[in-house]
Amino acid sequence: MKGSASGMRALKGGSSRYSIFALARNALSYHENWQKAWRSPEPKPEYDVIIVGGGGHGLATAYYLASIHGIRNIAVIEKGWIGGGNTGRNTTIIRSNYLWDESAGIYEHALKLWEGLTQELNFNVMFSQRGVLTLAHSEHELKEMRRRVEAIRLNGIDSEVMTPAQIKKLVPIIDTSPTLRYPVMGGFIQKRGGTARHDAVAWGYARAADDLGVDIIQNCEVTGILREGGKVTGIETSRGTIKAKKVGCVTAGHSGVVAEMAGLHLPIDSRPLQALVSEPIKPCLDTVIMSNAVHMYISQSDKGELVFGAGVDSYNSYSQRGSVPTVEGLLAAGVELYPIISRLRVLRTWGGIVDTCPDASPIISKTSVDGLYFNCGWGTGGFKATPGSGHVFADLIARDEPNKIAAPFSLKRFETGYLIDEHGAAGVAH
Amino acid sequence: MLQITCPWCGPRDDNEFHYGGEAHISRPLDAGKLSDAEWAEYLFLKQNPKGPFTERWSHSAGCRRWFNVVRNTATDEIIETYPMGELPKSPEGIKAYEENWRRDSAAEQNAKAGASGK
């Protein structure tokens, strides 16, 4: 199908938009004439900006570089297929209920972009603001939670404390009896939080970026970062050398490996983070529930599967599988809190490798190599930040200096000691 | 699940152990001589290789002693375990130890200088 022949509104670059009319028209031709969502071009010898890593954050960066900063000569280089890394492995939770102002700044920036993302990209990212509830299992945790709620509200972000009775009403499957080993003492909820379809985020950004001329190059592994006189000049890949004035690395899980290619060291440990889903069942849970003390989080997917997650494994690994004790601990806590899940079968489990930082906050930074930028260290919670991360990283690459939101997350903080310690609000063990 | 051979107790499952991160890091002796950047390097910068890695484990639910392990982080294969204060003996372990950038770091040099100055 060629563009907007039927008078339909087009995307910025000219591709046809998805709409009920497009759906009806394509239905009449047996869905055989949908155009490809993005091209598969050969890499050009040179680009203005290369983004290494075709996950959500990398594709969002490319999209905002093109749409806001007007840079069109961009390539996104992906080792496998786009969205095939951590974008497709996470538990899709979105929230911005962080303690410190710096974190509130970036996660709330992201949440506001999430709220308009489906419209902006003309791609249904299935953002569902079903609420994110965090449980407290001790007096101390409840007190800490009250403090956090006030801090969050001071930053203009919604958050409210809930009693066990209110929690039981919202989540009928939860056991709130006081006889539990770790009873539910209360909790707090961010109602604007929720989930999104993770693949759709990658595909939506890819389609919109491609439409603005961004070359998305898949099955192309970066093997080296070329430098000359302390300045980046391009990259070495499995499909040859590609020159570039600026290179932004967004390779969650492998940031340490990529940094090594440029002779840099990062404050990052790469660890497996596991998740699992049950067989699909009828709807029984319409919110996301996290529980730090007993360490499990749970939500129900639109397909009916219960989605579970726990903390990272204790040791560094790139193996993309985790240890059994972590899963065992997660399920033990799950069965106690939600007795109905005891007879469910686990459909599949998997692990992704996450970059964990000493302060459980991300790195969005220039490096000592001119023109080389890193966006990494999101640890266990990168998915929720996808639009905000891409937005501020694009700004950093385009202007060569961080904006107010990105500035606190520079590598400099490890020298100045101005750490953004979010181990508590990160919600899972690092 | 990893099976880790404690040098004193023999092979056990990994849930008996506690992880201690990278091994063979020297604490700077003369702290006043280090710049903020050099302190940050000692405290925060990580050796995070995809391949053989020298690391520390404690047999916390057993003899409670610390020891070193060479493990391939790409495959989780444990190449060797050896007591604290000793150096790796396997070819992979020796290579990982010698190629470690921390061997040339300011903290390491400072630690050596302080030790010989006594």
Q: Does B37 touch chain A (CB under 8 A)?
A: yes
CB A285: neighbour CB atoms within 10 A? 22
Chain B residues within an 8 Å CB radius of A415:
36-37, 39-40
CA quadruple A317, A323, A329, A331: dihedral, nearest 10: 110
**Under 8 Å between Cβ of A290 and A427:** yes
Residue B79 has pLDDT above 90, yes or no: yes
State the pLDDT at residue B17. Answer: 96
Q: Which two tokens stand for residue A246?
A: 């600026």
CA distance A279 to chain B (A): 24
Residues 6+ apart with CB under 8 A from A204: A117, A118, A121, A122, A123, A124, A125
To the nearest 10°, report the CA torsion of A425, B49, A375, A250.
Answer: -120
Decide: A51 and A62 in contact? Cβ < 8 Å.
Answer: yes
Return residues 48-77 of B near A (CB < 8 Å): 48-50, 53, 55, 71, 73-76
pLDDT for residue B115: 64
Q: What is the mean pLDDT of residues B39-60?
A: 95
CB A373 within 8 A of CB A396: yes
Hey, is B48 helix, strand or coil?
Answer: coil
List the single residue in B with minimal CA-CA distance to A266.
B45
pLDDT at B1: 80
| Nearest CA distance, B115 vs chain A (angstrom) | 26
pLDDT at residue number A2: 39
**Residue A50 main-chain phi, psi, to 5 deg:** -115, 130
What contacts 24+ positions apart, CB below 8 Å, involve A259-262?
A: A259/A367, A259/A374, A260/B49, A261/A222, A261/A223, A261/A224, A261/A225, A262/A225, A262/A227, A262/A232, A262/A367, A262/A369, A262/A372
Cβ distance of A267 and B73 shorter than 8 Å: no
Ranges of residues in chain A with a pLDDT under 50 are 1-8
Q: Does B43 touch chain A (CB under 8 A)?
A: yes
Mean pLDDT, rounded, of chain B: 92
Residue carrying the six token digits 């680009």: A47
Q: Tell me whether residues A324 and B1 touch, CB distance under 8 A.
A: yes
Cα separations in angstroms, A411 against A46, A108, A112, B32: 28, 22, 26, 23
Q: Which residue has the tokens 């023999």?
A: B10
The string of pLDDT tens digits covering residues B54-77 is 999 999 999 999 999 999 999 999
Q: Can you give the pTM of this predicted structure? A: 0.94
**pLDDT given for residue B116 in this prediction:** 58
Q: How far apart are CA A187 and CA A162, in angstroms?
A: 5
Task: Work out the minimum CA distance from A272 to partner chain B, whole angstroms.
Answer: 11
Q: How far is B100 from chain A (nearest CA, A)?
A: 11
Contact A90, A275 (CB under 8 A): yes
Question: Residue B48 and residue A325: Cβ atoms within 8 Å?
Answer: no
Q: Which residues contact A380 (CB under 8 A, 6 or more apart)?
A: A273, A311, A312, A354, A356, A426, A427, A428, A430
* A272 contacts: CB under 8 Å, gap ≥ 6: A312, A313, A317, A319, A320, A321, A322, A323, A351, A352, A353, A354
Q: Is B3 on the interface with A (CB under 8 A)?
A: no
Q: How many angstroms away from the CA of B15 is the closest CA of chain A?
A: 7
The predicted pLDDT at position A6 comes to 39
- Please tell me the distance from the alpha carbon of residue A258 to that of residue A224, in angstroms, as a whole number: 8
From chain A, pick out residues whose CB is under 8 angstroms from the CB of B2. Answer: 315, 323
Q: Which residue of chain B is at minimal alpha-carbon distance from A313?
A: B19
Minimum Cα–Cα distance from B18: chain A residue: A314
- End-to-end Cα spacing for chain B: 45
Residue at token pair 């990982």: B96
Report how far residue A111's alpha carbon sits from residue A126's, in angstroms, rounded to the nearest whole number.
14
Q: Is B118 on the interface with A (CB under 8 A)?
A: no
How many CB pairs below 8 A link A and B? Answer: 71
Which residue do the tokens 């890091």 mark? Answer: B25
Q: Which residue has the tokens 């494994």?
A: A313
| A266:B45 CB<8 A | yes
Q: Which of A316, A328, A354, A374 to mutate to test the interface with B (most CBs of B within 10 A)?
A: A316
How many C-beta atoms surround the C-beta of residue A88 within 10 A?
17
Q: Is the ipTM of this complex over 0.85?
A: yes
Taking CB atoms and an 8 Å cutoff, what residues of chain A touch B52? Answer: none
| Contact yes or no for B46 and A265 at CB 8 A | yes
C-beta atoms surrounding A172 within 10 Å: 9
Q: Choose which CATH entry (3.20.20.100, 3.40.30.10, 3.30.2270.10, 3.40.50.80) describes domain B3-116.
A: 3.30.2270.10
